A and B are shown apart, each in its own frame.
Chain A
Amino acid sequence: MILRLALLVALLALASLFWDPAMLQAVAARDPALARTILIELRLPRTALAVLIGGSLGLGGAAMQGLLRNALASPDVLGPTTGASLGAVFAGYFLGGGVLAVAAGGIAGALAALALLLALAGPAASTATLVLAGVAISALGGAAVNLALSLAPSPYALYDVLFWLLGSLADRTLPQLLVAAPIIIGAGGVLLAQRHALDSLALGEEVAHSLGIAVSRLRWTVVVASGVMVGAGVAVAGSIGFVGLIVPHLVRPLVGNRPGAALLPSALAGAALLLAADLAVRVPVNGVELKLGVLTALIGAPFFLWLVLKAR
């Protein structure tokens, strides 16, 4: 299954990189240097960020669902995503930071939102408490992004709300990729290394403890690594909803409902889903390209409703 998912990601990545091949060929025939610039400066960051951010959302969702043993846990439901938007907006608009500072702001925002969540919900929170606290933090974060951009010196800054709350991979830069990639890959590696521990945790905290798992260290590792990963992604692409929520549910039945075993397939499926969504937004609707987050929400919200119906 992992091989097939990886193949799907590779195919979609190629489609993303060489989208509209007739146009690329025409440009290459006329001006090879320009075609190279388009591929390296525009297409490569877009494709690579879709893979990395989609993967990080899928992986982050699967890890949080495994850790909290909660089917509704995901970065965008529980708050780190809007927390990251807020941190990035603050670092960029009010402290005048560059790519690095915005990434640091995003990571700090995501970690702050997660810390607030865990403090509010407590260590052994019920589903209801956790989701309530997460939804409240998400709403607060979204409102604070809105407020911050309303108060920014330029009246046009408010237009950027669209980006920070809906996300986009269009016209990102190579430096943004170079900042985000090592952070996402590093934190993702740390999360993947917890897969056996998460499988043990699924049997209950006592069992995990008796198997030699340091449960509280596991919790901190997963929370910090997810926060860092999500924060770095949001800082360059805005907040993209629902991928982290849907993907683990699609994957888990295929791996015998073991949360640890779902991590890597979730990362791959998340990358494939975001690549596909980013290909779809390039087809103009009524002459206008849609925002990435609009599309993922259009797919994700009905799925969320289906989860509700199933849980009833």
Chain B
Amino acid sequence: MIGLATLALLAGAAAAAPSPARVASLNLCSDELALLLAASGQLVSVSRLGADPEETPLAGRARGLPVNRGRVTDVVALAPDLVLTSSGDPSAAATARRLGIAVVEVPQPTNLGDVRANIRLVAAALGRPARGEAVVAAMDAALGPVPAGAVPALLVSGGGLTIAADSLAAIWLRHAGLRQQRVARGPLGLEGLLTAPPAVLVTSRYRAGQMSINQGWLAHPALKALPAGVVRLETDGRAWTCLGPSLAPEIARLRNALQRRGRPAP
């Protein structure tokens, strides 16, 4: 409700005020929305992560834009008339307001309705509501309806980190025809994964070139011993950080990959 009210307020404000001409985004997750929604030339800066091809599939759209390190002071010299940031960084928003710059804080989504609301929120702030509706429509088209008869699955990234069965990531996964299993708190151990394997194991590929403890875990030789019946899928780990609209095409890809491999019995 509050989200809707803010949205209505912002839509009203956008209708009254001219569209911002110089928009700076300070956070990977607001970068995603800004890069999808802004008119050409409207965006003057994104965060360094938002322009890093290892972090986001949209990095190509940020080519040539000045990058910031997530602080208002980094972008003040670009004279932005709107700053986008995540609700996780209230101090940046406060700083921008003190400097008299308009701010939109993008809330953390907890369901797909929130994801759509965030798209519309940023679209309205950019003065591009029609573009917002187009992005929402494209996201819903890629997602499609929830397939019937979901297969039990585990989404695992490096170090055995996984997601909660009732999280937004699990809701996205559901649209690929996969139902995240309930797991104990904390990271998974390889032994548990091998002795009680899911029907589908989805591993996340993220910065495969960087040797880290977590990457090493995914390459552990013992994982080759997973029973032959376990379907293994790989997903682009970059899209799972913000769980925003750029995850939709990846979900569609997973759904198709699962169908091609032959769905195991639910």
Contacts and interface: CB of A to CB of B under 8 A. Distances in A.
A153 B54 CA distance: 9
A96 B207 CA distance: 12
Interface in B193-241: 194-195, 206-207, 209-214, 216-217, 220-222, 225, 227
Contact of A96 (B49, B160, B210): B210
Contacts of B264: none
B211 A92 contact: yes
A284 B214 CA distance: 21
A93 interface: yes
B186 interface: yes
A155 interface: yes
A170 B211 contact: no
A125 interface: no
Given A34-B225, A34-B227, A41-B225, A152 B195 contact: no
Contacts of A97: 211
A288 B54 contact: no
User: Main secondary structure on chain A at its contact with chain B?
Assistant: helix
A235 B50 CA distance: 33
Interface string B44-88: 000001001011000000000000000000000000000000000
Contact of B222 (A38, A92, A152, A153): A38
Contact of B184 (A92, A170, A284): A284
A160 B214 contact: yes
Contact of B186 (A23, A96, A98, A288): A288
Nearest to A92: B211
Given A38-B194, A287-B184, A153 B207 contact: yes
Given A34-B227, A41-B221, A156 B214 contact: yes
A289 interface: yes
Interface string A13-51: 000000000010001000101100110011000000000
A155 B214 CA distance: 13
B221 A173 contact: yes
Contacts of B190: 42, 171
Contacts of A37: 194, 222, 225
B222 A93 contact: no
B213 A93 contact: no
B206 to A, nearest CB: 8
A289 B186 contact: yes
Interface string A142-171: 000000000011111101100110000011
A249 to B, nearest CB: 32
B189 A160 contact: no
A234 interface: no
A37 B225 CA distance: 7
A98 B219 CA distance: 12
Interface string B150-168: 0000000011100000000
Contact of B220 (A98, A159, A163, A173): A173
6 contacts: A38-B194, A93-B210, A97-B211, A154-B206, A173-B220, A173-B222
Interface of B: 49, 52, 54-55, 158-160, 184-186, 189-191, 194-195, 206-207, 209-214, 216-217, 220-222, 225, 227
6 tightest A-B contacts by CB? A37-B225, A41-B222, A288-B186, A287-B185, A92-B211, A163-B213
Given A34-B195, A154-B210, A174-B221, 12 more contacts: A34-B194, A37-B194, A38-B195, A38-B225, A41-B220, A42-B222, A93-B211, A97-B211, A98-B211, A154-B206, A157-B212, A288-B186
